[in-house]
Amino acid sequence: MFLTLEEINVIYGKKEGRVHALKDLCLGIEEGEFVTIMGKSGCGKSTLLNVLGAIRKPTKGIYKFKGKDIGEMRDAGLAKFRNKNLGFVLQNFALLNDRSVYDNVSLPLKYMKTGAKEQRKRVGAILKEMDLLNKISKYPSELSGGQKQRVALARALVTKPKLLLADEPTGSLDEETGIQIMELLREINEEGTTIVMVTHDKEFANYGNHLITMKDGRIIKEE
């Protein structure tokens, strides 16, 4: 199994402010799957994504990635694990407005201390794939919403991650642009990248091949 969650619980706060965000959640994902997660706001979707992204440690339970127990890693090890294995795409793009497209996309490579020549090679290749090579010197304010999301995708994919985590990647886009991004995600998945995506849109959820529905911190349905 590519990754497994075993009896995962996540609890925020204490006493009256205590929130049980995930409750005894179990999940297995095979390599190459395109998993889509649906459910009402507050059901635990984003918390689940944060656990998978090694951003939030479970209060209880075991998360294994390719057989390795992520809970046993210290902070430095978790940072290396994220840089090597994971890519993140968010609804609000999370681009640095004072940096060019090149600088935004190359940022994860800088964290990995990749050489300048290799950075230029990888960034050029991924921007060409995203049809953004002519925007390499532009700034986020000069781009459309769809172009910003493609830059965010390029940044997530430039390190060649094994797992891409997407939190409402079409949430800030119009329907036509959202479809373009979903088609792009499907292509990325068909090329071998495992994807886990949170969405409120049933039509976009159907792009996946493993649909999960959540309620009150639990998985209530898998298709």
Residue-wise pLDDT for 7-59, tens only, equals: 999 999 887 778 999 999 999 999 999 999 999 999 999 999 999 999 999 99
Both tokens of residue 164?
């891409």
Write the CA distances from 122 to 3, 108, 118, 170, integer angstroms.
27, 11, 6, 25
What value does the mean pLDDT take over residues 95-123?
94
36 alpha carbon, distance to own chain's centre: 11
Report which residue type is found at 126: I
Confidence (pLDDT) at 92: 87
Q: pLDDT value at position 149?
A: 92
- pTM value? 0.93
Q: What is the pLDDT confidence band of residue 190, given thresholds at 50, 70 and 90? A: very high
**Per-residue confidence (pLDDT) for residue 14, from 0 to 100:** 82
The values of phi and psi at residue 13, to 5°, are 70, -175
Q: At what angle do helices 101-111 and 116-129 cross, to 10 degrees?
A: 130
Residue 104 and residue 97 in contact, taking contact as beta carbons nearer than 8 Å: no
- Mean of pLDDT values over 77-82: 90
Domain carrying residue 149: 3-222
C-alpha–C-alpha distance, residues 31 and 194, integer Å: 6
**Domain containing 193 — which CATH number?**
3.40.50.300
Total structural domains within the chain: 1
Task: Tell me the C-alpha to C-alpha distance, in Å, between residue 78 and each of 48, 57, 74, 181, 194.
Answer: 17, 10, 6, 29, 19
Nearest to 130 by CA among 156, 163, 107, 111: 156
pLDDT score for 76:
87
